[in-house]
Amino acid sequence: MMGFLLTIANISGGVLLGLATLDKWDGERNFFNKIARVLAPFQTVIGGALIVLAILKFWNAPLLNVASILGGFLLLTHVIGKAPAFGDSLKKLSDKLMPFKAIIGIGLIVVGVLSIF
């Protein structure tokens, strides 16, 4: 059950993070924009689920779960910046990861689809 939830979170988080690239591939149909519009209010929940579920299932596939943790971290940047104790250091790390946002998003989609099979 946790694996299925992690798969859904990977695909959903990948769509949110990789939206710029997916929108270019989509062309005029705006399919991914419509999906992202539905998923956007749940960005914090999806990011938290990615981090928690990836940590719980870390030893099953460590490399794939590292991608999930990074994706969850990028989805939670707006929440992490408000944390008083470690907000500055995590904000710096988030700023360093931000150029790779689309790559991590597409990677999460691939990880989610691969974990279905």
| Token reading at 23 | 């929108």
Whether the CB-CB separation of 57 and 6 falls below 8 Å is answered with: yes
Q: What pTM value is reported for the model?
A: 0.88
Taking only the tens place, the pLDDT of each residue in 45-91 is 999 999 999 999 888 888 889 999 999 989 988 887 777 776 677 77
Taking only the tens place, the pLDDT of each residue in 9-40 is 999 999 999 988 888 887 778 888 899 999 99
| Token reading at 28 | 């005029």
Question: Which residues have a Cβ under 8 Å from the Cβ of 47 and sit 6 or more positions away?
Answer: 13, 71, 72, 73, 74, 75, 76, 79
- DSSP H helical ranges for the chain: 2-17, 19-26, 31-39, 43-56, 62-75, 77-80, 87-97, 101-116
